Amino acid sequence: MLVTFPHMGNAYIAMKSVLEDLGVEVLVPPPCTKRTLELGTKYSPELACLPLKLNIGNYIEAIERGAEVIVMAGGCGPCRFGYYAEVQREILQDLGYSFKMVVLERPQGNVRDFVKKIAIITGGKTVFRVLASIKRATRVAVLMDELERLCWQIRPREKSGGTVSRLMREFHSQALNTRGSVGLAALIGEYKDRISRVETKGNKEVLGIGIVGEIYTVIEPFVNVSIAEKLGDLGAEVDKSITVSYWVINHLIKEALHLHNKNELQEASYPYLRSFVGGHGQESVANTVLYKRRGYDGVIHLLPFTCMPEIVARSVLPEVSHRYGIPVMTLVLDEMTGEAGYMTRLEAFVDLIRRKKEMKGLYGERILSGD
């Protein structure tokens, strides 16, 4: 039984880890490409948001390669995403594909149901073993995000441009042939080591840009025009407010155990957005404030076209930007694969904050010299 799942940036690493530790044969869909998008837009409702369409493309490309079971997250909310799996199942069935879809929901009081669903995939493993695999996969997700964060730090400082990106491409092609949590953790460790040894311009001053927004567009490089790479090449160190491990730990595990502490988010987004508006809308506002407090120079806000929660955030952000004095730029992402328009905006945004920082530097010096 060959199991597959949709892509979301590096999430496939954690998925591979948990499933392979449970002895499941995994088929990672080919990375998102123009063909994935074409398949997705062809077979999905036109009004659906972009992630749903790419998921469909992933499934079809995986089924073509022999996948029999699709694992997808679902449940109540937090936005249209909650209903993705059901719609996707119908679409694939109408297309005549034969497959089984397992929709994993956050166990809301009913742990037995969750375990039962896992049993469909794993063919009956003890609860203990399932929990242990999830724990190890969470660790792998954390390590993976640490590796990405390291790339974000090194890329703007590297001596010969493109080295980090080249190493990461190498990493991803090797990860596909590495099995289970132990192997994957070792591979991540190896590349963390190699990337931390990439030659850098030691004292180069870089800009700090925080990326907030809808989770899929923030994490999946195919949709966000590889924004972390592009900004890195433009001399900015990026940070993403949402990562795969953040999502797994806070939204899946802590929320299920009622441990997710939202005080910081509530406090930071107050009074601009006082309540949950679906998806990560409130987080986008809160994280913009938090990035300012942590000394970042600018924030880029990403959303897929028609994303309701982020549209709410978008209308609040100009005021936040103004009050806190941090430049914010919103980019709406859709089916366009032409990158020139995004490049112009990113360049202009980097110019803007660099100039702003330089001016601040001048001003600061003047104060120091008593001029």
Partner 1 sequence: MEKEFYLGIDVGSVSTNLVLLNSQRELVYRDYLRTMGQPIRVVQEGLKALKGRMGEINIAGAGTTGSGRKLAGIMIGADVVKNEITTHAVAALDTNPAVSTILEIGGQDSKIIILRDGIVSDFAMNTVCAAGTGSFLDRQAERLQIPIEEFGDLALKSKNEVRVAGRCAVFAESDMIHKQQLGHRIEDIVYGLCQALVRNYLNNLGKGKAIKPTVLFQGGVAANRGIREAFRRELGMEIEVPPHYDVMGSIGVALIAKETAKRMGRTGFRGLDISKCQFGVRPIECKGCANMCEIIEIVKDGTGIACWGDRCGKWSNRIGK
Q: Which CB sits closer to partner 1, 74 or 208?
A: 208
Q: Which CB sits closer to partner 1, 279 or 298?
A: 298
Residue environment code for 17-36, b if the CB has 16+ CB neighbours within 10 A, otherwise e: bbbbbbebebbbbbbbeeeb
Q: Which CB sits closer to partner 1, 34 or 274?
A: 34
Which residues ranging from 213 to 232 are in contact with partner 1 (CB under 8 A)?
A: 226
Could you tell me if 248 and 141 are in contact, meaning their C-beta atoms sit under 8 angstroms apart?
A: yes
Could you tell me if 339 and 310 are in contact, meaning their C-beta atoms sit under 8 angstroms apart?
A: no
Could you tell me if 6 and 92 are in contact, meaning their C-beta atoms sit under 8 angstroms apart?
A: no
Q: Is 199 in the site for partner 1 (CB under 8 A)?
A: no
**Beta carbons within 10 angstroms of residue 39's beta carbon:** 21
Residue 22 tokens read as 């449970």
Residue type for 348, please?
Answer: A
| Site stretch for partner 1 (CB under 8 A), options 13-21, 142-150, 290-298, 350-358 | 350-358
Q: Which CB sits closer to partner 1, 45 or 318?
A: 318
| Angstrom distance (rounded) from CA 41 to CA 26 | 26
| Angstrom distance (rounded) from CA 287 to CA 245 | 17
Nearest distance, CB of residue 285 and partner 1, angstroms:
15
**Interface map 142-171 toward partner 1 (x if CB under 8 A):** -------------------xx--xx--x--
Q: Which CB sits closer to partner 1, 28 or 134?
A: 28
Could you tell me if 235 and 24 are in contact, meaning their C-beta atoms sit under 8 angstroms apart?
A: no
Which residues ranging from 283 to 322 are in contact with partner 1 (CB under 8 A)?
A: 318-319, 321
Q: Which CB sits closer to partner 1, 61 or 214?
A: 61
Nearest distance, CB of residue 14 and partner 1, angstroms:
23
| Angstrom distance (rounded) from CA 194 to CA 18 | 25
Among 139, 254, 262, 345, binds partner 1 (CB under 8 A): 345
Nearest distance, CB of residue 29 and partner 1, angstroms:
11
Q: How many CA atoms lie within 13 A of 271 on its CB side?
A: 0
Closest to 238 in 3D by CA, of 342, 360, 150, 333: 150
Which residues ranging from 12 to 71 are in contact with partner 1 (CB under 8 A)?
A: 30-31, 33-36
Question: Residue 238: beta bridge partners?
Answer: 209
Q: Is 352 in the site for partner 1 (CB under 8 A)?
A: yes
**Could you give the 3-state DSSP secondary structure of residue 24?**
coil
Instruction: Answer positive or negative: Cα dihedral of 116, 117, 119, 125.
Output: negative
Nearest distance, CB of residue 230 and partner 1, angstroms:
11
Q: Is 344 in the site for partner 1 (CB under 8 A)?
A: yes
| Site stretch for partner 1 (CB under 8 A), options 13-21, 113-121, 145-153, 335-343 | 335-343
Among 120, 131, 259, 359, binds partner 1 (CB under 8 A): 359
Residue ranges in contact with partner 1 by CB under 8 A: 30-31, 33-36, 161-162, 165-166, 169, 226, 318-319, 321, 327, 340-341, 343-345, 347-348, 351-352, 355-356, 359
